[in-house]
Structure formats: C-alpha cells, structure tokens
Amino acid sequence: MSHIPVLLNEVINYLNCRVAKQTFIDGTLGGGGHSLAIIKKIYPLGKLLALDLDKDNIDNFQQIINKLPYKKNVLLFNDNFVHLKKIIYSLNLPPVKGILLDLGLSSMLLEDSGRGFSFQRDEPLDMRYCNPPIKGSLTATDIINTWSVSELDRIFWQYGEETNHQRIASVIVKARLIKKIETTQQLVHLINQIIPVTRKNIHPATKIFQALRIAVNQELINLTEVLKQSMDVLSPQGRLVVISYHSLEDRIVKRFFIQQNKLRRIRILTKKPIRPGKEEIQYNFRSRSGKLRVMEKI
C-alpha cells in the first residue's frame, strides 16, 4: 500500500507556504507526501528540512528529489525530531516559518518494515522506528520478556488505555516462563485469550501494540520535548501544525497550545481540531482518526 499524506490541503494552507527566503520543517518525513507538496510551494527561494528516523524513507525521498529541480533546496536528516533544535542551530538557514509534525504510523512501517508494528502479520517484536537500529536500544521483545508485571500493567493502561491491562500483563508474564515471546502472533494469541476477536469492536491487540510502540520509541516524551523546542526555533508569525491520531498525543498538543496561549506566546488558529472529511476517509481509511491543530507564534 502506498503512503497517502493525511489532510494534505489543510496542512499546506495552514503552514502558509509561499515563495520567500524562509525555512519549513517536516519533522516526520515518512513517505514524503507532505514534504513534496511543501517544497513545490516554496521553491525556488525557500528551504525544506525533513527528518526521519528510518533511513529508507530518507533514501527514497532523496531519489525522488534527485529527479526534480528542488534538490538543492532540500536538506534531509536521518534523525529524531527530538534533536530539532540542535540540528537547526547547526545550519545556516533562513528563518523558520513552519513546522509540520505528522505523528501517524506510516503505511510502509505497517506493511513493509518487518519490525512487528502490525498485529496482522507474523514478525519479530521489534517496533523500533530507528533504521538502521541503534545497537542495544530497547525493543518490544525486551519489554514483553523482561519488564515486571506491574510495569507491563502500567504501560498497557497509561499508553494503551486498555481496560484489561492487568489480566493481559499477568497472562504474558506467565507465558514467558514457559517460552520466550518473540513474535507478533505469539503476543496476539495471548491477548486473544483475554479478549476474543469480534466484528463489533477494534482488534483486541490494537491498544497493546500502541502501548508497546509508544514505550519503545518514547513517543510521548519526545513529543513533549519537540513542542517546547518549536517555540525556540520558530520565527515570529511562524506556524506549528501537528496531526495526532490518538487521545494521548492530542491531549499533549492541546494542553501545550493552551499553556502557550495563556503566556501570550502564540495564537491558536484551530479552536477545534480539523478532521478528515468523508471523501478523504473513503480513499484513505487510516486518516479517519487524524486531528490537526495549528498555532502561530507571536
């Protein structure tokens, strides 16, 4: 499945992309759909800085850009957006007028990475975004097989909001005494012992896989940090556009915007989050949970 950028028109409009000596940042390159649309709008005077933890995404986008006239206006970094401030300060770039953070899990990670992001495939329980993987970095296998029952219980509830968190944690700890849990289907089988699959509800493994992914990649910690950094790197009238996909992310973004607004450091441009319309959801079903929020630095 090819990657389809979520809320593309809304992102471009709210970023206020135009031809000028200014910089735009895509902190989550992914398939590059948003980045490509941004560079087309700001070329030839603007610069685009795009980051991604997966080097395959960087290499794929580089190949696309190499065939287009925008090559010299694009800077690509195989890095985490939590290092945004450090990267920006190391470069001689025009003022930063827009930052995009699309927090969604890309189709490529689910379909092609082989790293255990999808409970519909039988893959190793890895779930690290970084590619190539950082030696010794935490994996989902590490968490499932070494964390205590109380630690598993905590992340399943805190990061997955799974109501059966205690029972699932207990089943996992008992099962790993018999055999190490190393694949997605081993884990799904254990979850299904507690919550059977039905057509009415979301798949029982959805929230547990979300919790593990968040824990492995420190997603909420990094999101909180990059929001803070955005205030330092954005120039006046610069905009931050964030697309979140579950309540934990959206809550962090919403609270940060409200806090900064009270301090009179920003204007909130979206009183309510922008959601994909019916037409977009029809051709890109994974966009259905997207929520777009925008702020402008004063």
Q: How far apart are CA 61 and CA 32, in angstroms?
A: 6
Domain annotation for the chain: domains and CATH numbers: 8-108+219-297 (3.40.50.150), 113-217 (1.10.150.170)
Provide the pLDDT for residue 202: 83
Structure tokens at 96: 């930063």
Q: Please give the pLDDT value at position 258.
A: 98
Burial annotation 127-148 (CB, 10 A radius, 16+ → b, else e)? bbbbbeeeeeebbbbebbbebe
Burial of 277 (0-12, 13-18, 19+ CB in 10 A): exposed
* Tokens coding 22: 């200014």
Distance CA 91, CA 67 (A): 25
How many CA atoms lie within 13 Å of 203's alpha carbon, on the beta-carbon side? 10
pLDDT tens digits along 233-285: 999 999 999 999 999 999 999 999 999 999 999 999 999 999 999 999 998 88
How is residue 73 annotated by DSSP? G
DSSP state of 69: T
Provide the pLDDT for residue 197.
83
Instruction: Quote the pLDDT of residue 213.
Output: 97
pLDDT of residue 106: 77
Q: Residue 14 and residue 92: Cα distance in Å, rounded?
A: 25
pTM: 0.94
pLDDT at 1: 41
- Whole-Å CA distances, 173 to 79, 170, 196: 34, 5, 19
How far apart CA 232 and CA 234 sit, in angstroms, is 6
- Rounded average pLDDT per 10-residue block, the chain, 298 residues: 83 96 97 96 98 96 96 97 97 96 85 89 95 93 98 98 97 98 98 85 91 98 98 98 97 98 98 95 91 98
Q: Is 115 exposed, middle or buried (0-12, 13-18, 19+ CB in 10 A)?
A: buried
Pairing outcome for strands 291-297 and 234-244: antiparallel
- What is the pLDDT, as a whole number, of residue 199? 65
Query: Which two tokens mark 53?
Result: 């933890």
What are the CA-CA distances from residue 219 to residues 55, 136, 210, 233 (Å)? 18, 18, 10, 21
How far is 268 from 295, CA to CA, in rounded Å? Answer: 4
Helix pair 165-178, 184-194: axis angle to 10 deg: 130
